[in-house]
Structures are given as C-alpha cells and as structure tokens.
C-alpha cells in the first residue's frame, strides 16, 4: 500500500537540504520536520489534498470508517475533539461510566458539559448498562469499549449520539472474531452511527501519541479538524504521523499480523491456566493475572516480574495486567510465561474491595477548578469539596471529580492508591 507520509520524509531526507526551518536540531533526527512545503498540515488536511489527508483516507479504508482523523495527542485529543463536536451539535449532558478515563471528565469541565454518571457493578469495569432508562435526560453517550482489566461492554445501540473510548481496542478491527470472540468488536463494526477515539500506540506498532478519531456512516465530521485544532498542538509530531502512515502499509501487506499475535497470546493463556495461574477472561491481546489468588498483591507480583526481566502495563492491589501488541511474537509470550511462573505462589488472599463511590456534587466541575484551593491530609478530607481531579495513573480514572463532596468511601479509595494530600476548595 502507498505510504505518502513515509515516502515524503524519505525523499526530503535524501535531498540533504540546508534546513532553515524548525525544529531546532536542524536534521539530527532526519524525519522530524515541521509543516514545510509539501509536508501538508494536520489540521488543514481536509482541503489541502496533501500527504496527511491521503494517508488518513487510506486509514479510513482499512478501518471501515467514513472519515478518519489522525491525532498526535493520543486518544485524549480524539476524545476532546469528539466531545467538542457533540457540544457544537447541542449536547449539554453526556451519560458516561463513572470509570471513564479522565480525559472525558476534564474535557466536559472545559466545555461546561454536564456528566450523568452510570455505575457498573465492579471497579474499573466497562460492563455498564446503557439502556433507555440509564441514558434518560442525556443528549449523548460516552462508552468505554475495553477496560484496563480487559473486559468489554454489552453491545446495544443507545440510539443517541455516541462517542466510544476504544483506546485499548484499535487492533480489534483486524481480529478474527470467530476465533477470538464475537464480543470483541471494533466500533466500526457495530452498525450504528458513532465516533471512535482509539490509541494506535497502545496495541499497534505506532509511536506514543499516535491515535485515531474514526467516524462511521451517519455522523457529522464537518468540523472534525477544527475541533482537533482547538485542543491539539500547532506543532504535531511528524514522527508520530509517519508511524501511523507506516502501519497502514504494514497491515495492508500482512493482514494476518494481528491474528498471529492474538494466537501467540491465546497459547500463553492456555499454558498459564494449565500451570494453575489464575487469569481473567480478557480481550485477545491482554493477560490479567489475579495476583491475590497467587498470595500477593498485584504490586508485589509486578516486582517479581521485574526481577525476571518483564515490566507490566498495570499493577494494583488485586491484579497485574500484561498488555501485548500486534507485533507480539511466540518468543515474547514464552518469555512472559517464564516470568509469570517464577514470580512466586503462596496461599491465596481475598481480593481488596474498592469502595463504591457515589459522590454528590456541590458545585459544577468547571466552577470548582476555578475556585481558590488548599491542601489537607487525605484522612482529614471527609466533608470537604474536592478542587481537582484525583486520577492515579495508570489507569487514569478519577476517583473523585472537582466539585464533589469527599466522604469516607472516597477517603478509603484514595488511601488504597496511596494519596497523601487532597486539594479542596478553600472556604
């Protein structure tokens, strides 16, 4: 497949021109350029007819989208633009899982949008009910497709404007559903109008920050570039754009690369289960180990993995998440298997129960962010009004939002994450 951004950068580098333009390293990193003649402009690619727009069209064809916009600011920028489009189309209140990524709440605050929080049964779960009763009084809906532990939501058409956080699921478009599970659909396969924000860099061979905002049939993308420019840097990285462009060529030349990686991870799961390692049911490129059943916390289990040369994606009190990618090999999985098996095993411990947070709002998020603040010890914060987003990363999910009243359940949750101080609205 044609890779117009890669081709332009190769040609420009070969010409060995004197670079009297940004960036200031003057070619020390040859493919790191700015919007020079012929290089196109990310936020003007709809009308330029240039290399970025051409590459985005190729990506849209590969993902089955009506329109695809590249992001150099991760799925965060894609979510920001998607919410701004909803706002421009009249959305005042959006329904979303309480365990949505912080980019949802932060952007809603910036746009003065209200959020109707929906509560799943389990901590960090994507399995939220989005039926008519749940989304009543909402103008649009925000759905997390795959959560950090690898769970997914139950597919229903909410029949109102929809933005999906598919940050962890860009690769799902290329997965054989008959082999790995029909529940792991890519948003462009759902069959109803939606926007999908997804991080290419999480599971595809793309540089950090590379992401997509996809639009399916029936969506309004006329202001997509305008809204991405509203939040995105005016100096997007051409190295990131090049990596997005290169993936188009990779997947077109080897459509089975994702399934090959999924097969390797599937075999790893079988081998771990046979060895008695307790793992959760997850999406095809993730292994989530129940560390408590192995007799330790996830944080302790992760330390054991590091001692065996493996770094995990996430470790908390209960679980360890191993995140694989579209270029994972059998050798990678064999190495991961040995590290898990040698991490140790002891008498099982009960899961740590994360408090269920149903915080009451005292003032709107955007107002709380603008108020004077002071800090108090976490154990002294009960009864105060939070002044900021408390979102340990990973997973980047806020435990409490600005403007919400802190109660004992929130204090307990913050302590689990080791938070020592909390910003509160000064009285």
Beta-carbon contacts of residue 398 (< 8 Å; ≥ 6 apart): 102, 105, 389, 390, 391
Q: By three-state DSSP, how is residue 11 classified?
A: helix
156 has a pLDDT exceeding 90 = no
348-366 tens-digit pLDDT = 999 999 888 899 999 999 9
List pLDDT tens digits, range 272-289: 999 999 999 999 999 999
pLDDT given for residue 130 in this prediction: 85
Query: What is the residue extent of each domain of the chain?
Result: 4-253, 257-341, 365-425
Bridge partners (DSSP) of residue 164 are 143, 196
Q: Alpha-carbon distance 312 to 346, whole Å?
A: 20
To the question of domain 257-341 being in CATH 3.90.1150.10, the answer is yes
What phi, psi does 313 have (nearest 5°)? -80, -40
State whether residue 317 is helix, strand or coil.
coil
Rounded Cα distance, 68 and 79, in Å: 13
Judge whether 257-341 and 365-425 match in fold.
Answer: no
Structure tokens at 296: 């330790």
- Write the pLDDT tens digit of every residue in 283-333: 999 999 999 999 999 999 999 999 999 999 999 999 999 999 999 999 999
Q: What are phi and psi of 172, to 5 degrees?
A: -60, -25
Q: What is the dihedral of CA 270, 273, 277, 278, to 10 degrees?
A: 110
116-150 residue pLDDT tens? 999 988 888 999 988 888 888 999 999 999 999 99
Topology of domain 4-253 in CATH is: 3.40.640
Structural tokens at position 285? 């490129």
Angle at 317 between CA 311 and CA 319, to 5 degrees: 55
From residue 123, alpha-carbon distances to 4, 97, 351 in Å are: 43, 11, 12
**For a pLDDT cut of 90, what percent of the chain falls above it?**
90
What is the pLDDT of the chain when averaged over all its residues?
95
- We find that the CATH architecture of domain 365-425 is Alpha-Beta Complex (3.90)
């Amino acid at each position: 497949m044609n890779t117009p951004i890669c081709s332009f950068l190769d040609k420009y580098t070969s010409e060995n021109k004197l670079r009297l333009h940004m960036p200031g390293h003057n070619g020390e990193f040859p493919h790191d350029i700015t919007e020079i003649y012929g290089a196109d402009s990310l936020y003007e690619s709809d009308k330029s007819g240039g290399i970025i727009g051409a590459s985005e069209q190729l990506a849209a064809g590969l993902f089955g989208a009506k329109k695809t916009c590249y992001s150099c600011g991760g799925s965060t920028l894609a979510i920001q633009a998607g919410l701004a489009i909803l706002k421009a189309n009249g959305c005042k209140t959006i329904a979303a899982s309480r365990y949505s990524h912080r980019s949802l709440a932060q952007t809603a605050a910036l746009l003065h949008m209200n959020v109707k929080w929906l509560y799943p049964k389990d901590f960090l779960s994507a399995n939220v009910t989005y039926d008519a009763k749940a989304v009543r009084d909402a103008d649009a809906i925000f759905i997390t497709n795959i959560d950090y532990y690898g769970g997914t939501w139950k597919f229903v058409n909410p029949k109102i404007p929809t933005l999906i956080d598919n940050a962890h699921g860009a690769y799902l478009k290329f997965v054989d559903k008959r082999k790995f599970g029909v529940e792991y659909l890519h948003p462009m396969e759902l069959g109803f109008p939606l926007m999908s924000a997804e991080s290419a860099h999480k599971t595809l061979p793309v540089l950090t920050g590379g992401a997509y905002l996809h639009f399916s049939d029936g969506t309004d993308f006329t202001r997509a570039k305008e809204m991405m420019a509203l939040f995105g840097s005016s100096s997007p990285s051409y190295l990131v754009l090049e990596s997005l462009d290169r993936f188009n060529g990779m997947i077109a030349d080897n459509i089975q690369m994702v399934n090959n990686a999924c097969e390797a991870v599937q075999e790893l799961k079988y081998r771990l289960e046979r060895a008695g390692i307790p793992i959760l049911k997850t999406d095809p490129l993730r292994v989530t180990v129940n560390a408590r059943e192995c007799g330790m916390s996830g944080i302790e289990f992760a330390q054991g993995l590091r001692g065996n040369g493996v770094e995990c994606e996430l470790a908390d009190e209960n679980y360890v998440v191993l995140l694989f990618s579209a270029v994972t090999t059998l050798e990678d999985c064999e190495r991961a298997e040995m590290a898990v098996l040698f991490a140790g095993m002891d008498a099982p411990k009960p899961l740590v129960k994360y408090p269920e947070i149903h915080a009451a709002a005292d003032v709107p998020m955007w107002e709380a962010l603008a108020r004077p603040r002071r800090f108090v010890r976490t154990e002294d914060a009960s009864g105060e009004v939070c002044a900021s987003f408390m979102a340990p990363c990973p997973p980047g999910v806020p435990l409490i939002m600005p403007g919400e009243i802190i109660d004992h359940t929130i204090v307990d949750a913050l302590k689990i994450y080791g938070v020592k101080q909390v910003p509160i609205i000064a009285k």
